[in-house]
């Protein structure tokens, strides 16, 4: 059982590029950490610093409360699965898995036992005597996993291990990894592009952007309470809709429509120095919006009294024209554009994505009213950082 | 960020502690390895030095005895018309008065750089003699006993079958210098020890951290320090060696510091690089240790001779003496005032011949290699393997053999080429009699032995072109020629261009073919620059002139490489 | 009918390269065949008929060449020199190429260029100083001297060839080994070296050929017949004083045979090993 602590870790490449800046992270033993972020944000760099493949330029890495900055990779007790798998092409699967064990001077009998046990667990037993080039991508991936597991390391490091697999295999392996993780309870770091992987596998997710941590938290925390606009748009699929709004005395002006906010929210916002008349970014997830046909509006009007009792809703709904529909079977994705007065250029250029149930029938080119509940909205500062307001 | 905390403090030990702990943590393997290497190499160095010492002692002794009788002990053999004799040599105690030389065929033995050479004997037969060390020993009185063998090679038969040989041996050359062995072995030992230390010892050095500034400074000093400590015995040894030698060999004192600095230079460089990079990434250091063996050997055996050669080009050589002449050789060569422009010895004439030679060869090599590779790369061609194997044969034959065979084939009387021509009803051509004939012989020989290299390179490059590019081109309606022009050629370029450039450099300096096939006939017209330089050096004994000549060749090639560099870079951009 | 026509067109398409390759291969083989023919004739003259196929089969020349008193010594010298050259050349160029391929350090570009520049040093410029250096080291007439000279001549090309190949080995494989607990030496011997076998084979072949085929330096540095490498002796058969073509041809075949064998064995590697690293600079 191993805990890992990263204290103000930073990486500056010889060319002066700061790939990671001041990263603080405390990992409990047995925890599964996912590192996500856009390409080039420094995920791999972080992982490689933990592995010892890159020097740590600043800060301190503690493994089991022991400084590990200067330790060689082999002394850190880490195992790594690479995106390209990095199997030794000249060795059979068996030799690949046994290589690290041999270097540990483990007795041959024990090596054989371990290799075979791991191979059985990952269903690659029949492949043990093949060379890497004689296997499919999925099989290679399993071998790479087996190689890491066989060592029984203190820490697992995965660098986008599933990104070369097709969707189905990926899903399969995801389940497999979850199973293994439950079984082995090894501290793990997992770099991925795929949010689904991050959300399903990780105990906690670290989101990076240009080498700076944006948020660290449980997957749902990132989803439900994004710390800033970047996190909000990065997590979730389809991405969260962002609307530029203006703060009014008792609510927001969204695309020419008034949205009243709860007093609690208003106070909260004002406490952070945003005054009436200032812009605010409003985020709302596609699945938390709904489209209402214009002729249904009368019905809606009837119900609105009841609705307003429950939560504050958009007064009227934003008038949108439906530009494109993607029926996916289980759901329908709609792309809409707000219809506003000609002078409100900014909001007319915005695209809104709405996710509807599959059984809702909508038509392209029609005009709908878009509505959502106040409780579902996220508000962010409109400046560059876009810190969450409430 | 810079807060000192417990674990990092633990690393701030003193230097010695660091090294010791590093060794400990690696299980002494490094130390043992280094020590073994050091022992082996110093042993080797010592042995070699002793051997040389012994040789000197022996020489000194022979010089004292001055005369020795050589009693022939025949074992004759005929090799062609060379006569070989083995003569055994029994040193004998001579009294000081009998300084007279009593001999039948030889007057004196004179030391030369190659060993011992017999001077012009009286009967004008020309001898070449080699001493071979056989069993020899010194007795208690310090006299040399045993048997030495002297091989005499004479160009004439009919020498007296039994003759007595009295040899006057003198050591006119300064004895060889054992200190170099000390230095070399010490260097190598040091290098290996460092290597071992880096690898087995100090892995904790491999990651350095800004919080570890102090430690970095420590290790940056520790290495130069260690360097100096390990170097000092060497330097002292060399100095002692030189001082002890000084009296009897007359080597100037100034050489002492020179030697010492020689030994120190590489270490200094290493230490300095160490110092400069210690704060940054120590991977530099690892890289330098990997490079070190090659740098050392290539430095000593390629760059030192090169520099010596450059030095030589400023001097005139006359009977073993070198005098400084400055740039006059270069001026002589480049102004080419001694000969008219069409004279074979005119530099520009030879340069033109060389350029013609290189260009025609490269064109032929590339075109033949390329077309053969294209043919061999066709899908579904039968016997592909056999063709390839057979077509590589010329490459596998040593080029001097090829050259001699082709020279025979171009012979006017019995050469096969002329026999072919005779069948076609053409008069026998005197190939070596005309410039064009000689060049044709040279070029065809070189083409024969040179195209397989280009063929193999092209084949490899062809195989690395993805097949789907052709399929895409085919679908786009490209004809074969179009896809060749727009896919094959551009993609071959990055692999072919460097091969062509390297090939042209090799051809430019292709000595064997010209020297052996045409031999410069007629009248040196078909000589290229490199054979010309060789003639100046070894047929005219004008080493300095030849060195200057060679240096000019080098600069021409350097200019050519610079020129082509841009081309290759451009080509590589296509690839990436 | 039309199908048979297209078939024959196809056939022609398939087989026309033979029309070029076959005669060309013949022409290229003729000189080699003549050598064989000369070796198998008892006579020592060059006079031959045009027919390249051997008409007599006498092993006399081979026997005579091989029963020369110094034959075994000289052949052994050659083998010894070539083997050591290969070993040292490949080992040294391996480490250097590895550093050049994997590390970025000050002086790397310079080093690469320097290796390339050595290819342009004219032999004539080097010979006399080289002689002095070798003499200085006390290595004249010694195998060690030749080995040193040959391996250093071979190293630059080998370094470039190997560096090119090492560049193609993915970095991840090495990193994976590092994490698996391999030290630098294990990494080098167990991962890098086995992975670059084709390039190593080719590099070894080149260093071997450098030593095996060379005679000018050998003739310069070796004054003792017992220290000659075989090419020096072979060269003398058709030297200035004698022309023993039969002996020469027999000796030439003896010398070329091992290299040719190596070429055939390493043919596949030669194609891959030269390009992937290749002369590509
Ligand atoms: N050796 C290097 N020298 C200089 N900069 C580098 C080096 N390696 C990576 N970088 C830069 O550091 C940044 C982070 O790289 P890193 O490989 O960690 O990204 P990543 O998050 O893993 O991206 P991806 O998801 O595409 O793998 C990138 O912008 C990259 O350009
Ligand atoms: Mg990455």
Q: What angle is formed at CA A17 by the lines to CA A11 and CA A19, rounded to 5 degrees?
A: 40
Residues B439 and B355 grouped into a single domain: yes
**Final residue of a structural domain among B261, B283, B312:** B312
- Ligand number nearest CA of A18 is 1
Residue A180 lies in a domain: yes
Of ligand 1's listed atoms, the one at least distance from the Cα of A193 is 25
Q: Before A238, cis peptide (omega within 30)? A: yes
- Six-digit token string for A262: 């709860």
- Identity of the residue in B7, B208, B210 whose CB atom sits nearest the CB atom of A67: B7
Distance, in angstroms, between C195 CA and closest chain B CA? 18
Please state the domain extents for chain C: 3-58, 68-276
Q: Is A39 in the pocket of ligand 1 (CB under 6 A)?
A: yes
* Closest chain C C-alpha to A135 CA, distance in angstroms: 17
Mean pLDDT over B349-362 rounds to: 92
Residues from chain B that touch C128, judged by Cβ atoms under 8 A, are 308-309, 312, 537, 543, 547
Q: Which residues pair with A12 in a beta bridge?
A: A18
CB pairs under 8 A between B and C: 300
Given this model, what pLDDT does residue A304 score? 53
A150 and A17 fall within a common domain = yes
- Pick the last residue of a domain from A209, A234, A259: A234
Contact check, Cβ <8 Å, A55/B281? yes
* Whole-number average pLDDT of chain C: 80
Q: How confident is the model at residue B220 (pLDDT cuts 50, 70, 90)?
A: very low
Label the pairing between strands B144-146 and B136-138: antiparallel
Confidence check: pLDDT of B110 > 90: no
Distance CA A244, CA A348 (A): 11
Nearest-ligand number for the alpha carbon of A41: 1
Chosen domain end from A214, A234, A254: A234
**Do A18 and A50 belong to one domain?**
yes
A 8-47: CB under 8 A from B: 8, 14
Task: Note whether B308 and B370 are same-domain residues.
Answer: no
**Which residues does chain A have within 8 Å of residue B211's beta carbon, measured at their own beta carbons?**
58, 60
Where residue B217 falls among pLDDT bands split at 50, 70, 90?
very low
Report pLDDT for A116.
92
Q: Is the pLDDT of residue B287 over 60?
A: yes
Contact predicate C192/C174, CB 8 Å = yes
Q: Is A42 in the pocket of ligand 1 (CB under 6 A)?
A: yes
If you ran DSSP here, which 8-state letter would residue A338 be given?
E
Are both B22 and B138 inside the same structural domain?
no
- In angstroms, the CA B275 to CA B263 distance is 19
Q: Tell me whether A60 touches chain B (CB under 8 Å).
A: yes
Measured CA to CA, the distance from residue B459 to residue A60 in angstroms comes to 52
Q: Kindly state whether residues B190 and B258 are assigned to the same domain.
A: yes
Same domain, A145 and A28: yes
Q: pLDDT above 70 covers what percent of chain A?
A: 92
A260 and A211 in a common domain: no
Q: What is the CATH number of the domain that holds A259?
A: 2.40.50.140
Residue of B51 and C193 predicted with greater confidence? C193
Nearest CB to C178: which of A53, A83, A88?
A53
What ligand 1 atom has the least distance to the C-alpha of A35?
21
CA atoms of A347 and A255, how far apart (whole Å)? 6
Whether B240 and B206 map to the same domain: the answer is: yes
Tell me if A389 is assigned to some domain. no
| A15 CA: nearest ligand 1 atom | 4
The chains in contact with chain A, meaning 3 or more Cβ pairs closer than 8 Å, are: B, C
A45 Cβ inside 6 Å of ligand 1 = yes
**Among residues A199, A234, A269, which one ends one of the domains?**
A234
Identify the pLDDT of residue A295.
67
C223 chain-B contacts, CB cut-off 8 A: 114-115, 130
Q: Could you tell me if residue A105 is inside a domain?
A: yes
Within this chain, do residues B39 and B188 fall inside the same structural domain, yes or no?
Answer: yes
> Do A135 and A276 reside in the same domain of the chain?
no
How far off is chain B from A373, nearest CA to CA, in Å? 46
Which ligand 1 atom sits closest to the C-alpha of A45?
18
- The secondary structure element, H or E, covering residue A254 is strand A251-254
Residue B310's CB: how many other CB atoms inside 10 A? 16
- Report how far residue B54's alpha carbon sits from residue B69's, in angstroms, rounded to the nearest whole number: 22
Answer yes or no: is the C-beta of A11 below 6 A from any ligand 1 atom.
no
Same structural domain, A286 and A316: yes
Query: ipTM of this model?
Result: 0.85
For residue B41, the model assigns a pLDDT of: 61
Residue B219 domain-assigned (yes or no): yes
From the alpha carbon of A43, which atom of ligand 1 is closest? 21
Q: Are A250 and A261 in contact (CB under 8 A)?
A: yes
Last residue of a domain, one of B312, B347, B377: B312
Residue B270 contacts residue B194 (beta carbons within 8 Å): yes
Instruction: List beta partners, residue B171.
Output: none
Residue with tokens 């004179």: B110
Residue A88 and residue A49 share a domain: yes
Predicted TM-score (pTM) of the model is 0.72
Q: Which of B246, B278, B312 marks a domain boundary?
A: B312
In 3D, which of C219, C63, C46 has the Cα closest to residue C146?
A: C219
With respect to residue A146, please indicate whether it lies within any of the assigned structural domains: yes
Q: Which of C111, C129, C149 sits opposite B291 (nearest CB)?
A: C111
Find, in chain A, the residue whose alpha carbon is nearest to that of C175.
A53
| List of chain C residues whose C-beta atoms are within 8 Å of the C-beta of residue B382 | 18
Question: Does the beta carbon of A43 lie inside 6 Å of ligand 1?
Answer: yes
Residue B532 near residue C95 (C-beta atoms within 8 A)? no
In the block, tokens 């005895």 appear at: B65
Same domain, A300 and A229: no
Q: What is the pLDDT of residue B36?
A: 65
Helix axes B255-278, B213-249, angle to 10 degrees: 170
Neighbours of chain B (3+ CB pairs under 8 A): A, C
Contact across the interface for B306 and C45, Cβ inside 8 Å: no
| Cβ-Cβ contacts under 8 Å, A99 against chain C | 177, 180, 182, 190
Is pLDDT at C273 greater than 80 in this prediction?
Answer: no
Structure tokens at A97: 């898995």
Across the interface, of B7, B203, B205, the residue whose CB is closest to A66 is B7
Question: What residues in B contact A11, CB-CB < 8 Å?
Answer: none
Distances (CA, A) of B249 to B173, B176, B245: 9, 10, 6
Q: Do C126 and B561 touch (CB under 8 A)?
A: no
Overall number of domains in chain A: 2
Specify if A387 maps to a domain: no
Ligand 1 atom closest to Cα of residue A41: 21
Average pLDDT, 10 consecutive residues per value, chain A (390 residues): 90 89 92 92 92 89 89 87 88 91 90 92 90 87 91 91 86 89 91 88 92 92 90 88 84 80 84 84 89 67 49 62 87 86 62 86 84 86 83
Residue range of the domain that includes B268: 2-54+178-312
Q: Which of B99, B37, B110 is nearest to B68 (CA)?
A: B99
CB A245 within 8 A of CB A389: no
Domain C68-276: CATH superfamily, name plus number: MetI-like (1.10.3720.10)
Asked if residue A388 belongs to a domain, the reply is no
In-domain check, residue B238? yes
Residues of chain B in contact with residue C99, where contact means CB-CB under 8 angstroms, are 286-288, 290-291
Which residue matches tokens 């060449």?
Answer: C65
Q: A41: Cβ below 6 Å to ligand 1?
A: yes
Q: Does the residue B411 lie in any domain?
A: yes
If you average pLDDT over each of A98-107, A250-259, B190-199, B301-310, which comes out highest? A98-107
Smallest Cβ–Cβ distance between B301 and the set C20, C133, C185 belongs to: C133
DSSP H or E segment with residue B315: strand B315-318
* Same domain? A213 vs A287: no
pLDDT above 80: residue C101: yes
Confidence bin at B112 (pLDDT 50/70/90): very low
Q: Which domain holds residue A228?
A: 4-234
Strands (E), B485-570: none
Do A165 and A139 contact (CB within 8 A), yes or no? no
Query: Residue B423 is encoded by which pair of tokens?
Result: 């069948």
Which one has a higher pLDDT value, B284 or A99? Answer: A99
CATH code, domain with A152: 3.40.50.300
The answer to whether position B101 is within a domain reads yes
Mean pLDDT, residues C201-220 taken together: 86
What value does the mean pLDDT take over residues B330-355? 82
Give the B window 327-386 contacts with A, CB below 8 Å. Answer: none
Number of domains observed in the structure of chain B: 3
Residues A97 and A207 occupy one common structural domain: yes
Please name which of B161, B174, B5 lies closest in space to residue B83, comparing C-alpha atoms.
Answer: B161
Q: Does ligand 1 lie within 6 Å of residue A88's CB atom?
A: no
Is C179 close to A90, i.e. CB distance below 8 A? Answer: no
Which residue is listed with tokens 């800033």?
A228
Quickly count: other Cβ atoms within 10 Å of residue B485's Cβ: 12
Query: Taking CB atoms and an 8 Å cutoff, what residues of chain C touch A103?
Result: 180-182, 186
pLDDT in tens, B126-165: 333 433 333 333 333 333 333 333 444 443 344 433 333 4
The CA distance from C273 to the nearest CA of chain B, in Å, is 8
Residue B76 resides in a domain: no
Neighbours of A321 (CB within 10 A): 13
Under a CB-based contact definition with an 8 Å cutoff, are residues B503 and B454 in contact?
yes
Length of chain C: 281
């Amino acid at each position: 059982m191993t805990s890992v602590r990263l204290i103000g870790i930073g990486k500056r490449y010889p060319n002066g590029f700061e790939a990671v800046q001041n990263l603080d992270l405390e990992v409990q033993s047995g925890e599964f950490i996912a590192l996500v972020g856009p390409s080039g944000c420094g995920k791999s760099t972080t992982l490689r610093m933990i592995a010892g493949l890159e020097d740590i330029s600043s800060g301190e890495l503690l493994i089991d409360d022991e400084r590990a900055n200067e330790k060689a990779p082999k002394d850190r007790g880490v195992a790594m699965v690479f995106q390209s798998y990095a199997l030794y092409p000249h060795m059979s699967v068996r030799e690949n898995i046994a290589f690290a064990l041999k270097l540990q001077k483990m007795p041959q009998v024990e090596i054989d036992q371990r290799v075979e046990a791991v191979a059985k667990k990952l269903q690659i037993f029949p492949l043990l005597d093949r060379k890497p080039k004689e296997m499919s991508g999925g099989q290679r991936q399993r071998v790479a996993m087996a190689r890491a597991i066989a060592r029984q390391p203190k820490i697992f490091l995965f660098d986008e291990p599933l990104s070369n697999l097709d969707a189905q295999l990926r899903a399969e392996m995801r389940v497999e990894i979850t199973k293994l993780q439950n079984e082995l309870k090894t501290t793990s770091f997992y770099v991925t592009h795929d949010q689904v992987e991050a959300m399903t596998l990780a105990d906690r997710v670290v989101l990076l952007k240009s080498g700076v941590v944006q948020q660290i938290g449980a997957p749902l925390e990132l989803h439900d309470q994004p710390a800033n606009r970047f996190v909000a748009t990065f997590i979730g699929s389809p991405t969260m809709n962002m609307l530029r709004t203006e703060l009014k005395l008792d609510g927001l002006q969204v695309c020419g429509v008034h949205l009243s906010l709860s007093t609690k929210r208003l106070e909260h916002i004002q406490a952070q120095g945003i005054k009436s008349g200032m812009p605010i970014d409003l985020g709302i997830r596609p699945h938390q919006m709904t489209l209402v046909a214009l002729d249904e509006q009368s019905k809606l009007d009837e119900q609105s009294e009841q609705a307003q009792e429950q939560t504050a809703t958009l007064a009227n709904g934003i008038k949108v024209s439906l530009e494109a529909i993607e029926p996916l079977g289980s759901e329908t994705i709609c792309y809409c554009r707000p219809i506003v007065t000609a002078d409100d250029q900014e909001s007319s250029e915005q695209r809104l994505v709405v996710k509807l149930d599959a059984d809702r029938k909508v038509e392209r080119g029609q005009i709908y009213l878009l509505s959502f509940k106040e409780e579902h909205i996220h508000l962010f500062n409109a400046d560059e950082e876009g810190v969450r307001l409430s | 960020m810079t807060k000192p905390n417990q674990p990092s403090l633990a690393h701030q030990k003193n230097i010695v502690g660091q090294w010791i702990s590093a060794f400990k943590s690696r299980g002494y393997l490094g130390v043992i390895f280094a020590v073994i290497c050091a022992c082996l190499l110093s042993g080797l160095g010592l042995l070699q030095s002793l051997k040389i010492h012994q040789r000197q002692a022996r020489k000194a002794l022979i010089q004292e005895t001055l005369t020795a009788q050589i009693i022939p002990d025949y074992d004759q053999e005929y090799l062609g018309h060379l006569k070989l004799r083995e003569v055994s040599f029994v040193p004998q105690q001579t009294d000081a008065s009998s300084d007279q030389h009593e001999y039948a065929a030889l007057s004196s033995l004179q030391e030369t750089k190659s060993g011992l050479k017999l001077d012009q004997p009286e009967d004008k037969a020309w001898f070449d003699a080699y001493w071979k060390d056989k069993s020899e020993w010194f007795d208690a009185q310090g006299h040399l006993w045993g048997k030495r063998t002297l091989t005499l090679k004479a160009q004439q038969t009919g020498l007296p079958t039994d003759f007595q040989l009295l040899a006057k041996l003198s050591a006119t050359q300064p004895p060889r210098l054992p200190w170099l062995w000390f230095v070399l072995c010490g260097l190598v030992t040091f290098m290996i020890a460092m290597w071992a230390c880096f690898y087995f010892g100090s892995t904790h050095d491999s990651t350095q951290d800004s919080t570890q500034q102090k430690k970095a400074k420590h290790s940056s000093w520790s290495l130069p320090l260690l360097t100096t400590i390990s170097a000092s015995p060497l330097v002292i040894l060399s100095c002692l060696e030189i001082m002890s030698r000084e009296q009897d060999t007359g080597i100037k004192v100034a050489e002492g510091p020179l030697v010492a600095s020689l030994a120190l230079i590489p270490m200094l460089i290493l230490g300095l690089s160490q110092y400069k990079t210690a704060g940054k990434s120590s991977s530099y250091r690892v890289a330098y240790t990997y490079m070190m063996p090659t740098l050392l050997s290539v430095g000593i055996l390629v760059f030192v001779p090169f520099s010596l050669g450059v030095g030589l080009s400023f001097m005139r050589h006359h009977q073993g003496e070198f005098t400084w002449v400055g740039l006059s050789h270069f001026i002589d060569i480049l102004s080419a005032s001694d000969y008219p422009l069409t004279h074979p010895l005119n530099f520009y004439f030879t340069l033109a011949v060389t350029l013609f030679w290189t260009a025609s060869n490269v064109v032929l090599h590339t075109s033949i290699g390329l077309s053969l590779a294209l043919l061999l790369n066709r899908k579904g061609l039968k016997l592909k393997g056999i063709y390839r194997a057979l077509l590589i044969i010329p490459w596998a034959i040593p080029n001097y053999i090829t050259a001699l065979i082709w020279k025979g084939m171009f012979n006017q009387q019995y050469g096969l080429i002329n026999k072919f021509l005779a069948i076609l009803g053409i008069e026998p051509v005197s190939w070596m009699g005309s410039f064009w004939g000689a060049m044709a012989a040279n070029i065809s020989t070189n083409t024969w032995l040179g195209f397989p290299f280009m063929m193999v390179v092209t084949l490899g490059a062809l195989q690395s072109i993805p097949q789907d590019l052709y399929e895409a081109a085919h679908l786009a309606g490209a004809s074969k020629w179009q896809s060749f022009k727009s896919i094959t050629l551009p993609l071959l370029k990055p692999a072919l261009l460097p091969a062509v450039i390297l090939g042209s450099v090799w051809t430019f300096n292709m000595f064997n073919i010209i020297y052996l096939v045409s031999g410069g006939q007629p009248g040196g017209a078909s000589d290229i620059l490199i054979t010309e330089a060789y003639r100046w050096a070894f047929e005219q004994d004008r080493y300095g002139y030849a060195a200057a000549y060679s240096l000019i060749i080098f600069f021409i090639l350097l200019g050519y490489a610079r020129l082509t560099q841009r081309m290759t870079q451009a080509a590589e951009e296509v690839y990436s | 009918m039309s199908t048979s026509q297209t078939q024959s067109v196809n056939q022609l398409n398939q087989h026309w390269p033979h029309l070029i390759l076959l005669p060309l291969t013949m022409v290229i083989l003729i000189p080699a065949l003549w050598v064989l023919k000369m070796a198998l004739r008892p006579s020592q003259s060059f006079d031959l008929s045009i027919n390249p196929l051997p008409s007599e089969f006498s092993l006399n020349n081979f026997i005579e060449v091989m029963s020369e008193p110094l034959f075994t010594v000289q052949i052994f010298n050659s083998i010894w020199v070539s083997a050591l050259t290969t070993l040292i050349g490949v080992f040294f160029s391996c480490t250097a190429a590895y550093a050049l391929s994997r590390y970025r350090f000050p002086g790397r570009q310079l080093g690469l260029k320097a290796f390339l520049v050595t290819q342009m040093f004219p032999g004539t410029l080097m010979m006399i100083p080289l002689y002095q250096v070798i003499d200085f080291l006390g290595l004249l007439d010694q195998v060690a001297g030749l080995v040193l000279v040959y391996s250093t001549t071979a190293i630059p090309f080998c370094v470039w060839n190997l560096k090119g190949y090492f560049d193609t080995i993915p970095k991840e494989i090495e990193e994976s080994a590092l994490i698996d607990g391999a030290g630098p030496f294990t990494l080098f011997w167990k991962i890098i070296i086995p992975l670059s076998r084709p390039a190593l084979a080719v590099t070894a072949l080149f260093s071997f050929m450098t030593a095996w085929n060379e005679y000018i330096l050998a003739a310069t540095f070796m004054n003792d017949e017992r220290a000659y490498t075989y090419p020096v002796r072979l060269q003398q058969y058709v030297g200035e004083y004698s022309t023993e073509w039969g002996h020469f041809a027999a000796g030439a075949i003896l010398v070329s045979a091992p290299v040719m064998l190596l070429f055939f064995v390493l043919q596949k590697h030669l194609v891959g090993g030269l390009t992937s690293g290749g002369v590509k600079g």
